[in-house]
Structure 1
Amino acid sequence: MFESTGTFALFDYFRVPYERVDAEPVAPGLASLSVRGETASLFWPLDAALTSERPRPSSYFLDTTPLFGRVVPDGEVRSWLRRIGGKWRPSEDVRNEQGTLVGAVWRREDGSTVLPFDPSELIQNYWSERYLDYIRPAALSHLAGLARRGYYRARPLLPRSVQMSMRRSFSRVQSKSRFPRWPVETALHDFYDFLFATVAGVAERPIPFIGLWPRNWAWALVLTHDVEAQLGYEKLPELLRVEVEAGYRSSWNFVPRNRYVVADELVETLREHGFEVGVHGFNHDGRDLSSLATLQRRLPAIRDYAERWQAKGFRSPGTLRSAELMPLLGFDYDSSYTDTAPFEPQAGGCCTWLPYMIEDLVELPITLTQDHTLFDLLGYRDETIWLEKARFLRQRGGMALILTHSDYVGNPYLVDSYRRLLHEFADDSTAWKALPRDVSDWWRRRSNSSLEEVDGEWRVVGPAEREARVEFSSPHVLTA
């Protein structure tokens, strides 16, 4: 259906069929995408055409959607328009942080469109949290990293009350962050909508893609737990009971070496009853991913426990993360990123409520605020924030993935709030109530499948062909 002279991350992610072709660009460094045999095209700059940023990169806005990446000056874009030919008009403004007009998306009467940015770069900058380089000075990022490492080194020596006082004080600073918004940030998915609408305008037809969830499920609800210390190990049955009574199953992430011993009998019992077991770092000191050398020292022990527990998934203690190091862990999936996490020790967020790939690692982002953050840090007293976010994700076809800790069942609000959350969706037949390993396996099958057109109809071919659906672009249905 489509031919492209450059990589188009949106199509790769949503599994829209296109063929890479070698063709002479209309201007140096300019890639194009079009329906085979038709003239209307989408154009965007490749790396060679993008100017290097100032020492501190700038963020931009496409109307109201924040963009984080390099933008070609409008004068250069106008030179492309002259070379492409035809009558062009600016359709959407691109402005800098001060509101100054710096460029535009240009359109021609036949639907052809020129973007002043590389959409694949922008998508990756959301996923990888590189946008933080655009909104936070490098010196501040460095200081935040030093403070975080110092806190985790001192944490075992600090009374609980002192830890919480420090975290609450820091949360007041974190609450002033303008991006990502909390508890819902739609920027990346708004950008997906913009790109799909733009391509549909070029093609003059809806765009086929592989549905986000298997069979007839419209969204996913995934339950996970981290067990941090001996207290959490002892209190595990209290959350487990709530789930069993409501007909759910979940994943339990244990720390191999952190002042409690995980009995093989417990792991086997959980697995026999349909639960999953994962690995929660090495010893919960927050340093597993602090450097390559540290990871290499600890990885053999982490892998030993992964094999012992038959664990396919990993979550980093404190959800401290590194996109560069995490693929080296050797797990099928990770669940250390959050879609929006301004209040966590490593503030940020990947801005998506769908799985995605970090090299060969499936990332399953946490999308409902952690229990400790919600009840202890921010002082909420019920499940309202959870319910509102989960209902939003159901409407958008996303993944509601929650992290709760049995260590914190002493909080007077946690258990009852969790019970009411599960009750809300217990009879929802549209929800895929899946273990994280099942979501990861599905996402791999989906990512390794493709669409092909046979006698005018699209069908899925590949590992997901027996369970996947063909869908067509429309706002919010395709982006979740």
Structure 2
Amino acid sequence: MRNILAEYYRTPFNPRVLYPSGGFQNEAGFFRFGPDIVCYGECAKGIANEVMNSEALHVSEAFSATGAELRLPFDIGDVIENLRRERYLEKLDSGPKPLTRRTWTREFYYLVRRFLPVAVRRHLQRVYLKDWKTLQFPHWPVDSTVDSLNEAFLRLAMIAQGCDRVPFIWFWPDGAFSALILTHDVETAAGRDFCSSLMNIDLSHGFRSSFQVIPEERYEVPNSYVDEIKTRGFEFNIHDLNHDGRLFEGKAKFLCSARRINEYAKKYNARGFRSGAMYHNLDWYDAFFVGRILEIPLTTSQDYSVFHILNEYTINLWKRQISLVHQKNGLLSFITHPDYLINLRCRDVYETLLDHLRQVVERDAIWATLPGEVDRWWRARNEMRLVQDGDRWRIEGPDSQRARVAYASLDGDRIVYTIEKPLLTP
């Protein structure tokens, strides 16, 4: 049986979980683990086909504990996997769809997109996304359901076992409270030609970033361009194959494209990959060369959405998202495009964002790094383990000298964290 808490917290604390002997509902659906945590999966206490109807299904009331054993009416590991793989989308889209939400409409849009004036494209995108702020789930502007579910499970397990403090390996190296990455997707030749200037802008604020580059059709990728990105300490990654919106159209097409993407990754010695329009299908990712994929989430709104969909030319939304992600000790990840930052108005907003990020990084002890470093850290942390040494705990494993022991403690109806030797001491 999976040790969910060990996967998330890297802790030796391993409560025994029992599930109903009669199994679960055969169909997956929505229910609540408490009033605010929306779950998706099978549940012995019933499910709702729509998120709004899940409010009456608070299955935390069905939780029970006997000695060191926990009884849950759902498999928490399956629910977390469903959330991470976004398997709930099928249910969210199961009702009648307006014209803009139908698959054939999206395919037709990508077919004619390059021939549409920019103003027409932006209008169609606003129509498509007009109701995104009103969705009950996932939560806007940041969804942290998986984190909240892990915290709620840990709290119940600690209460059941009479434990007021649990050790674990802190999420980020050197006791940093959160992490930050800046990434740039390069979509046109004009954007490619602006990358040198964008690197200067990032460096002037004390940051380095990654550039995701489209290897086919959109523009040439000269060796001098690749070399400049790498020699200046930035990161070169692959962005889709040709960014036509059809990478995940079918398994056979995807496998063929994945082979070519892998060839480009080898050619450019690149480990990072991002698909066009953020489409993904984790069940197919084994086709990529890296083997065991680490998916780094996007936790803030893209510049295109902020500027051209929401029509906002401030950093107010980004500041709100930064605060929410930092409260969960999460990863602040940004996507901006050199293609749009050529515009002076957009560039001024971006530089305002960098000014704010520099202040937040220094004030709140945030690890500002590159996606490749996040990948290396998370793989190393996954191989670390806590070992009891007398009345203390120590960490063993790769890169353990950068890791920190932390403790999760009960504080009323919530969990609070403390770190040994944090990067910043209050």
Pairwise TM-score range, normalised by the shorter structure = 0.7 to 0.9
- Residues 431 and 58 (structure 1 numbering): CA distance in 2 closer, same or farther, change over 3 Å? closer
Q: CA deviation at 1:411?
A: 4.2
2:206 corresponds, among 247, 256, 273, to: 247
Q: Residues of 2 paired with 1:195 and 1:235: CA distance?
A: 47
2:45 corresponds, among 50, 73, 76, to: 73
Determine what percentage of the aligned residue pairs are the same residue.
Answer: 28
Letter in 2 for 1:10: L
Aligned to 1:12: 7
Letter in 1 for 2:6: F
**1:84-109 per-position Cα deviation (integer Å, ceiling 9, x unaligned):** xxxxxxxxxxx953626778333358
Q: CA deviation at 1:266?
A: 1.6
- Residues 139 and 329 (structure 1 numbering): CA distance in 2 closer, same or farther, change over 3 Å? farther
Aligned to 1:339: none
Aligned to 2:397: 462
**Counterpart contact for 1:224–1:250, Cα < 8 Å:** yes
> Which structure's relative contact order is higher, taking Cα pairs within 8 Å and 6+ residues apart?
2
**1:216-259 per-position Cα deviation (integer Å, ceiling 9, x unaligned):** 21111100000011121122234222101111100001000133
**Counterpart contact for 2:31–2:57, Cα < 8 Å:** no
Does residue 156 of the first structure (1) align with residue 114 of the second (2)?
Answer: yes
Does residue 50 of the first structure (1) align with residue 24 of the second (2)?
Answer: yes
**Counterpart contact for 2:31–2:55, Cα < 8 Å:** no
Equivalent residue of 1:380, what SS? Answer: coil
Q: Please give the residue correspondences for 1:299-310 in structure 2 after superposition, counting only pairs within 5 Å.
A: 299-310=258-269
TM-score in terms of structure 2 length: 0.87
**Counterpart contact for 2:255–2:287, Cα < 8 Å:** no
**Counterpart contact for 1:45–1:118, Cα < 8 Å:** no
1:367 corresponds, among 291, 299, 302, to: 299
Equivalent residue of 1:300, what SS? Answer: helix
Q: Residues of 1 paired with 2:134 and 2:98: CA distance?
A: 15
Does residue 298 of the first structure (1) align with residue 241 of the second (2)?
Answer: no
Q: Residues of 1 paired with 2:174 and 2:257: CA distance?
A: 40
Q: Residues of 2 paired with 1:192 and 1:58: CA distance?
A: 17
Q: CA deviation at 1:57?
A: 3.0
2:372 corresponds, among 417, 422, 437, to: 437
Does residue 210 of the first structure (1) align with residue 169 of the second (2)?
Answer: yes
2:320 corresponds, among 378, 384, 388, to: 388
**1:41-93 per-position Cα deviation (integer Å, ceiling 9, x unaligned):** x43348x722312xx7344452232121111138xxxxxxxxxxxxxxxxxxx
Q: Residues of 1 paired with 2:181 and 2:57: CA distance?
A: 43
Equivalent residue of 2:19, what SS? Answer: strand
Aligned to 1:315: 274
Equivalent residue of 1:116, what SS? Answer: coil
- Residues 102 and 115 (structure 1 numbering): CA distance in 2 closer, same or farther, change over 3 Å? closer
Q: Residues of 2 paired with 1:214 and 1:255: CA distance?
A: 32
- Residue ranges of structure 2 left out of the alignment (5+ in a row): 47-51, 410-414, 419-426
Letter in 2 for 1:203: Q
- Residues 117 and 43 (structure 1 numbering): CA distance in 2 closer, same or farther, change over 3 Å? same
Aligned to 2:77: 120
**Counterpart contact for 2:32–2:57, Cα < 8 Å:** no
Equivalent residue of 1:207, what SS? Answer: strand
Q: Residues of 2 paired with 1:246 and 1:11: CA distance?
A: 37
Q: Residues of 1 paired with 2:322 and 2:271: CA distance?
A: 25
**Counterpart contact for 2:18–2:70, Cα < 8 Å:** yes
Q: Please give the residue correspondences for 1:160-239 in structure 2 after superposition, counting only pairs within 5 Å.
A: 160-205=118-163, 206-239=165-198
- State the superposition RMSD in angstroms: 2.6
**Counterpart contact for 1:9–1:123, Cα < 8 Å:** no
Aligned to 1:81: none
Equivalent residue of 1:423, what SS? Answer: helix
Does residue 64 of the first structure (1) align with residue 66 of the second (2)?
Answer: no
Q: CA deviation at 1:280?
A: 0.3
**Counterpart contact for 1:238–1:409, Cα < 8 Å:** no
**Counterpart contact for 2:34–2:59, Cα < 8 Å:** no
- Residue ranges of structure 1 left out of the alignment (5+ in a row): 1-5, 20-32, 35-41, 75-94, 333-359
Moved more, 243-252 or 165-174: 165-174
Q: Residues of 2 paired with 1:423 and 1:463: CA distance?
A: 34
Q: Residues of 2 paired with 1:445 and 1:279: CA distance?
A: 23
Q: Residues of 1 paired with 2:166 and 2:37: CA distance?
A: 22
**Counterpart contact for 1:9–1:120, Cα < 8 Å:** yes
**Counterpart contact for 1:214–1:467, Cα < 8 Å:** yes
2:236 corresponds, among 274, 277, 280, to: 277
Q: CA deviation at 1:433?
A: 0.9
- Residues 97 and 238 (structure 1 numbering): CA distance in 2 closer, same or farther, change over 3 Å? same
Moved more, 118-127 or 449-458: 449-458
**Counterpart contact for 1:44–1:118, Cα < 8 Å:** yes
Q: CA deviation at 1:183?
A: 1.0
Q: CA deviation at 1:395?
A: 3.1
Moved more, 295-304 or 401-410: 295-304
**1:268-327 per-position Cα deviation (integer Å, ceiling 9, x unaligned):** 121111100000011110122222211222233212221222111000011111111223
Q: Residues of 1 paired with 2:138 and 2:30: CA distance?
A: 16
Equivalent residue of 2:304, what SS? Answer: helix
